[in-house]
Structures are given as structure tokens and as C-alpha cells.
Structure 1
Amino acid sequence: MLVLRDTEIKGRGIFAHQDFAKGELIETAPVIVIPKQQVKLIVKTVLLNYYFGWHGESGAIALGFASLFNHSYHPNALYIKNFAKSVIEIIAHQDIRKGQEITINYNGQVDDQSPVWFDVEE
């Protein structure tokens, strides 16, 4: 179970309301696929901060909590895009304790240190 609440420095965040073991599925989120012709319009909206790159040049907005996890270069979770089922799965990358914020690396790989489009607060 997950809960949305304020963080100390990142605004809102998603927190564990139970323990998750490394490798455990945290959430399966259905997505709304955004055709590649419409992705360029997203960059002019607040949705820029919430969408995932999808198959090819399309994008996706994940429903549930998936689009609300905060970024970290040292995340405790990862995401897997399942194009065939149009879902994103959030998986514990390490053990996560109840009350801990769950974070993902927006670059897609847990160890990818590439810059993102905002100043990162760790």
C-alpha cells in the first residue's frame, strides 16, 4: 500500500505504507499513451513533469501513483515499461520500510547519472 504526502524538500512524494522486499512489485499502473504527434504539446504544459517516454517517440501518463514518484540518483525502486500491456510496473530495487519515501531514477536505469531537466534535491 502507498500514500501520497508532503516531503521536506521535494513537494509531494509517494511513501510506503508497508514494507517492501527487494524485487517486490510495488505498483502496476495503467498508462494513457500519448501519440508522438502530441508529445511536443506536452512540453508546454505541467504534464512535462509527469509523463514517461514510451515506445518510439510516443509518451505516456501513468495512472495511479506511478507519475508521482520523485526522482533520485540513488533510488530505492525502479520502473519497467510493459508496452504490450500498456502498464508501468514499479519494483523495489532494495528493501523499503514502512514510512520511507519511494523514489525512482527518471533516466530509466537506477545507476544513470545523466542530468535531468530540473535541479535535483537529494
Structure 2
Amino acid sequence: MLVFRDTEVKGRGIFAHQDFAKGELIETAPVIVIPKQQVKLITKTVLLNYYFGWHGESGAIALGFASLFNHSYHPNALYVKNFAKNIIEIIAYKDIRKGEEITINYNGQVDDLSPVWFDVME
């Protein structure tokens, strides 16, 4: 179970309302696929901060909590895109304790230190 609340420095975030073991599925989120012709429009809206790159040059907005996890270069979770089913799975990369914020690396790989489009608050 997950809970949505304010963080101390990042605005809002998603927090564990139970313990999750490494490798455990945290959430399965269906996505709304954004055709590649419309992605440029999304980047000019507030949705820029919530969409995932998808298959090819398309994008996707994940429903549920998946588009609301905060970024970290030291995440405790990862996301896996399933293009065939149009879902994103959030999986614990480390053991996560109840009350801990769940974070993902927006670059897609947990160890990818490439810059993102905002100043990172760790």
C-alpha cells in the first residue's frame, strides 16, 4: 500500500505504507500512450514533469501513483515498461520500510547519473 503526501524538500511524493522487500512489486500502472505527433505538445504543458518516454518517440502518462514518484540518483525502486500490455511496473530495488519515500531514477536505469531537466534534491 502507498500513501501520497508532502515531502520536506521535493514537494509531494509517494511513501510506503507497508514494508516492501527487494524485488517486490509495488505498483502496476496502466498507461495512456501519447502518440509521437502529440509529445511535442505535452512538453509545453505541466504534464512534461509526469510523462514517460514510451516505445519509439511516443510518450505515456501512467495512471495510479506511477507518474508521481520523485526522482533520485540513489533510488530504492525502479520502473519496468511493458509495451505489449501498456503498463509500467514499479519494483522495489532495495528493501523499503514503512514510512520511507519511494523514489525512481527518471533516466530509467538505477545507476544512470545523466542530468535531468531540473535541479535534483537528494
TM-score, normalised on structure 2?
1.00
Structure 1 segments of 4+ aligned residues over 4 angstroms from their partners: none
Q: CA deviation at 1:59?
A: 0.1
Superposed CA deviations along residues 79-116 of structure 1, whole A, max 9, x for unmatched, are: 00000000000000000000000000000000000000
TM-score by length of 1: 1.00
Q: CA deviation at 1:55?
A: 0.1
Deviation per residue, 1:24-75 (Å, 9 max, x gap): 0000000000000000001110000000000000000000000000000000
CA distance in 2, matches of 1:28, 1:55: 18
C-alpha distance in 1, partners of 2:120/2:44?
Answer: 21
- What is the RMSD of the two structures over their aligned residues, measured on CA atoms? 0.2
Structure 2 match to 1:59: 59
- Structure 2 residue aligned with 1:21: 21
Alpha-carbon distance in 1 for matches of 2:33, 2:26: 21
2:25 and 2:44 map into 1 onto residues whose CA distance is 33
In structure 1, the partner of 2:76 is 76
Percent identity between matched residues is 91
Q: Take 1:8 and 1:79, find their aligned partners in 2: how far apart are those partners?
A: 24
The runs of 5 or more residues in structure 2 that have no matched partner are: none
